[in-house]
Structure 1
């Protein structure tokens, strides 16, 4: 049951994403790539749904996590190298499609909910929570690049190339990890500003009620 004064934003956002995801699941450019790209998306979405009543993040945290979900769903539909992003490529004179870099930047946004979780449950000092959020994203970024490489080698063919998405850039993995890290730094800066707002009397995080320790 929704607590009094609690925002419906996460529920509405989840409904919009579900519809968006279903629409983009129809006739993707490559069904093999679609599965490879969207398994992490489905797993993350399911995790957020299952844990919603155990720990409710702030609306800002859900919004930041949703950015990656939406962008990755788009990349899974078109394959990241072929997302219609030409207007940006032409505007800045890029030699490649950088939609994947934008998506990697949004991966870093998950540092925000990590820091929020540790801070609100008092599992770590705020400074440690920030460092944990940053280093966790860096570790995930590194692991994902290894998974991409392994899938490309095992799958081979066009599906492997499209999933890897390097577009001929020999430094693609390093640049992707940098984008993840920069996204995390941005998200943690936002978190610090929001925390400061809360400490000065604002409502940056949803109020927690009741005696359940999970809501303290």
Structure 2
């Protein structure tokens, strides 16, 4: 019988699988759903397939799952149309813009993958702590920039409303830059949490297989 801490990734995986099924039922825009669910599926299956080879800490799995959950919800509604009214009211004084901030929060949460990257580098002894932190931060910044380029190209190729919804700028000409800043701030937040928890020094998981 698995220990409770070892069941946690399985529970997250089952919850995400159920959410993905819900997301695919009558989404607001099927073309947008396909475009948004592909990266979610790719990350999800990569984590499932590598779970036995490298078991991250529960904290890393939790932080990584937050983006997967949010992106799956965004795929169903499109990011500009997700019911996020209460949170928008709370964020408006900080972020302004009079827009749906669901996608901005989603970009911030993407930065949480820096936590898992730092853990992987340190547990595999591929880098010391300072280098692992810097590399993890730059990894997220690089992914953020690449994702904005992919969104731009999809919007150009697809065109029409689907292209606009995937781009998600909501009329803001600086949307791409703000999204990349949100990714970076999320990475800095997760790396600060990493320094507090130091999961690389704990052993709540079986040794990784070489």
TM-score range, shorter chain: over 0.9
Residues 8 and 213 (structure 1), Cα distance of their counterparts in 2 relative to 1, 3 Å cut: closer
Superposition deviation, residue 208 in structure 1: 3.5
Structure 2 CA distance, aligned partners of 1:66 and 1:183?
14
Structure-to-structure mapping, 1:28-177, within 5 angstroms: 28-91=27-90, 92=92, 94=96, 95-177=98-180
Measured in 1, the distance between the counterparts of 2:166 and 2:62 equals 26
Does the 8 Å CA contact 2:27/2:77 hold for their aligned counterparts?
yes
CA RMSD of aligned residues (A): 1.8
Alignment partners' CA distance in 2, 1:46 and 1:125: 29
Write the distance in 2 (CA, Å) between the matches of 1:71 and 1:6: 23
Please list every run of 5 or more consecutive structure 2 residues that lacks an aligned counterpart in the other structure. none
Q: Deviations over 1:184-213 (max 9, x none)?
A: 000101111111x875xxx4x42435xx75
Q: With a CA cutoff of 8 Å and minimum separation of 6, indicate the structure with the bigger relative contact order.
A: 2
Task: Report the CA distance between 1:90 and its aligned residue.
Answer: 3.3
What are the Cα deviations for residues 43-92 of structure 1, in whole angstroms up to 9, with x where unaligned?
A: 00000000000000000000000000000001110000111112223343
1:194 to 186, 197, 201: 197
Check conservation: 2:53, 2:209, Cα contact below 8 A: no
TM-score with structure 2 setting the length: 0.92
Asked if structure 1 preserves the Cα contact closer than 8 Å seen for 2:123 and 2:200, the reply is no
Q: Report SS of the residue matched to 1:168.
A: coil
TM-score, normalisation: structure 1: 0.90
Q: Which whole-Å CA distance do the structure 1 matches of 2:116 and 2:89 have between them?
A: 35
